[in-house]
Chains A and B, each alone.
Chain A
Amino acid sequence: GEDVEQSLFLSVREGDSSVINCTYTDSSSTYLYWYKQEPGAGLQLLTYIFSNMDMKQDQRLTVLLNKKDKHLSLRIADTQTGDSAIYFCAETPGSSNTGKLIFGQGTTLQVKP
């Protein structure tokens, strides 16, 4: 089946790097995503990676994909208090031709000043 797992909480100091980890079970996943949810706000797509890529960098964000271990990570460099939010890992299952997303439980990132 399709399952996505994340740790629930991460606390860092402002200016440090944050690394949020995710594991998934579907080896045929096509796209993997990171979404951000701020309190009272909707889901915002931060970045995504296609399954044939190992790494993607976008400004302060770096996504690493280890397809062998089915492990995805999001690194946020120079973390700011405005980065405090819930971060969701999600995948598009390879078995699906609908583009639906399977989400992890979300990791709450707390950034201390």
Chain B
Amino acid sequence: GAGVSQSPSNKVTEKGKDVELRCDPISGHTALYWYRQSLGQGLEFLIYFQGNSAPDKSGLPSDRFSAERTGGSVSTLTIQRTQQEDSAVYLCASTRGLAFSSYEQYFGPGTRLTVT
């Protein structure tokens, strides 16, 4: 498809386990963002990638959260030792890059993470 895809769509995990969430951006989009949507905190920025580099990680809530991007395409968000407060919908967005206008971020459908 032509849009941003994310997998899995739903993930239920036990507290203390590690999880990996995947994002496939639109082909050719060099900029990639992760956001988190939760009841208590609303929609929060987590991390920004330009190519494979992450110049802005300021939104990652703790060192249990990490992300990488390979080949300037797929990105993986990893949460180690999950806690119940990590339960949220994790959204990925991509855009052509800041050399172009940044106004059009295309969002994926999200991964709903439930930590029991």
Question: Residues on A close to B: CB < 8 A?
Answer: 31, 33, 41-45, 48, 88, 90, 92, 96-106
Question: B65 within 8 Å of A by Cβ?
Answer: no
Say yes or no: B107 contacts A99, CB within 8 Å: no
Check A41–B48 contact: CB distance below 8 A: no
For the complex, give the distance between the alpha carbons of A31 and B33 in Å. 17
B71 at the A/B interface (Cβ < 8 Å)?
no
Interface pair B110/A99, CB less than 8 Å apart: no
| Interface Cβ pair total, 8 Å cutoff | 57
Residues of A contacting B33 in the complex (Cβ-Cβ under 8 angstroms): 99-101
Of B31, B48, B106, B107, most buried by chain A (CB within 10 Å of CB) is B107
A86, chain B: closest CB distance, angstroms = 10
B109 at the interface (CB under 8 A from A): yes
Bitwise interface map of B from 90 to 116 toward A, beta carbon under 8 Å scored 1, else 0 = 010101001000111111111000000
A71-B86 Cα distance, complex, nearest whole Å: 32
Q: Say whether, besides A42-B109, A45-B105, A97 and B42 are in contact (CB < 8 Å).
A: no
Closest to B47 in A: A100
Which single member of A33, A98, A105 contacts B56 (CB below 8 Å)? Answer: A98
Q: List residues of chain B with CB within 8 A of the CB of A43.
A: 91, 93, 107
CB <8 Å contact, B95 and A98 = no
Known: A42-B91, A42-B107. A99 touches B102 (CB 8 A): yes
Identity of the chain A residue whose Cβ is nearest the Cβ of B46 in the assembled complex: A100
Nearest A residue to B59, CB-CB: A100
Contact A31 B91 (CB under 8 A): no
Alpha-carbon gap, A59 to B109, bound state (A): 26
- Determine whether the beta carbon of A92 is less than 8 Å from that of B102: yes
Q: Is B12 an interface position by the 8 A CB rule?
A: no
Partner of B45, one of A44, A97, A101, A104: A101
Q: Which residues of A contact B98 (CB under 8 A)?
A: 97-99
* CB–CB A100/B45 < 8 A: yes
Which residues does chain B contribute within 8 Å of A33, judged by CB atoms? 103
Known: A42-B91, A100-B56. A105 touches B42 (CB 8 A): yes
B1: CB under 8 A from chain A? no
In the assembled complex, the Cα of A104 lies from the Cα of B37 at a distance in Å of 11
Chain A's nearest CB lies how many Å from the CB of B96? Answer: 10
